[in-house]
Structure 1
Amino acid sequence: MTRWNVLIVEDQSIVRQGLKLMLEQDDKIRVVAEASNGQEAIKMIEKQIIDLVIMDIRMPVMNGIEATRVIKERFPQVKILILTTFNDDEYAIQALKYGANAFLLKTAERQTLVEAVYSCFRGGLPINEEVAANVMPRLLQKAEKKKEFPLSPRELTITKLVGEGKLNKEIAEELHLSVGTVKNHITQILQKLDLRDRTQLAIFAVKNDIA
């Protein structure tokens, strides 16, 4: 029988223990690791096979939103189920944007949580009903308003990284390019978008939610 290796990421030890007891009542779920923040979670995924991360949002050192972004970039096969106290639309939108596979509130029943785990592995996207009612219309509205820019995929990626505050050297290392090539790309981007400098480009990226 296939069993899923689960990592619980939650800064309160008593909550982690409670979740572990609840989840391991199901034969297919095995909690193999625990972490108290996103940074610890990433280190654990580097060391062992994790199929699913159950992630809180507000944690010290690295929160669940940032951890979701990093884990999905480095380990895209790992499923992430956000489990939080906070019914906050922006948290949900950010988590889903970064690739979270589920978003539940801690008020959920045990069976709802277990069913959400199964749904993640079936390719579903379980979201708490209250959250979905608020978030889905906003996501659809954003999709309708999405703008097109005269940039290549590579130029869009560089624009995104500039918006994140990355230096040319950091962008070059991340994209495996030379610093000179990155500078040339930025010059072309500025010309295409009729912008004066990289500060304007960074503001442009943030304002237009380029990701």
Structure 2
Amino acid sequence: MIKLIIVDDDILIRESLKIIISIDKDIEVVNTLEDGKSCLDYISNNDVDVILLDMRMPIMNGEEVLAQIKARNINIKVLILTTFDEANLISSAIKYKANGYILKTSTPEKIINGIKSVYHGNGIYDNEVVSKLIVNKNYSSNNIDKYELTVRECDIVKLIAKGLSNKEISNELYLSEGTVKNYITNILAKMNLKHRTQIAIEYLR
């Protein structure tokens, strides 16, 4: 059973999420909290697996919670669920290694699957969230040099980070879609990742 807390300053959203998520037999909503300070106080004294965390809250916001979790080396997965998709908030979530970032426009099924995904150690970031970071940003390959990727693999990583699908990458690089899939399999192995979205997040870090 996944022990989950919901942290959001809007009581209607908190209670609605609790009702929706509690339907799933694999997740137990152990508490709902209205600000970041209450969240940190709670996880200091209680067993929690996943935090469903809003970014903008009074007293202590989501970024500050993430910073404290990282500073204290607390072993809890964090899934950001917020209305806001501003690049600075997304960058903060990536900086402090949030396990996922999805928007409140997501379907209940996507939210529940997101909770389960981060609990099992997989990252989940909305495509539109990743795309936000691409706009007007100039990337180098320094972030991924340590993985000793080939030039072609680096090209594919950059295109994944730009949000291109396998088919679009194949058209861009004049490769078959099967060859692109093989490259991505090799990239995932070298970077010790499980999903292509994680490649983009690691590159953007």
Q: TM-score, normalised by structure 2?
A: 0.65
* Residue 137 (structure 1) shift: 7.5
* Residue 143 (structure 1) shift: 6.0
**Partner of 1:50: helix, strand, or coil?**
coil
Q: Distance in 2 between matches of 1:115 and 1:97?
A: 23
Q: Deviations over 1:60-103 (max 9, x none)?
A: 10001111110232243100011110111110111111010000
Q: Distance in 2 between matches of 1:142 and 1:23?
A: 40
Q: Distance in 2 between matches of 1:32 and 1:143?
A: 42
Residue equivalent to 1:135: 133
Residue equivalent to 1:51: 49
Matches within 5 A, 1:1-211: 3-135=1-133, 141=139, 144=142
Q: For structure 2, list consecutive stretches of 5 or more residues without a partner in the other structure.
A: 145-205
Change beyond 3 A, Cα 1:86–1:125: same
Larger Rg: 1
How many correspondences in the alignment?
144
**Partner of 1:34: helix, strand, or coil?**
strand
Q: Distance in 2 between matches of 1:20 and 1:121?
A: 17
**Partner of 2:57: helix, strand, or coil?**
coil
11-20 or 121-130, larger mean C-alpha shift? 121-130
Give the CA RMSD over aligned residues. Answer: 2.1
Q: Distance in 2 between matches of 1:139 and 1:54?
A: 28
Q: Distance in 2 between matches of 1:98 and 1:133?
A: 19
**Partner of 1:141: helix, strand, or coil?**
coil
* Residue 144 (structure 1) shift: 3.1
Q: CA contact under 8 A between 1:93 and 1:139: conserved in structure 2? A: no
Q: CA contact under 8 A between 2:80 and 2:102: conserved in structure 1? A: yes
Change beyond 3 A, Cα 1:47–1:91: same
Q: Deviations over 1:167-204 (max 9, x none)?
A: xxxxxxxxxxxxxxxxxxxxxxxxxxxxxxxxxxxxxx
Q: Deviations over 1:91-149 (max 9, x none)?
A: 01111110100001000000111111111122211011111123268888266389xxx
Q: For structure 1, list consecutive stretches of 5 or more residues without a partner in the other structure.
A: 147-211
Identity of aligned residues (%): 30
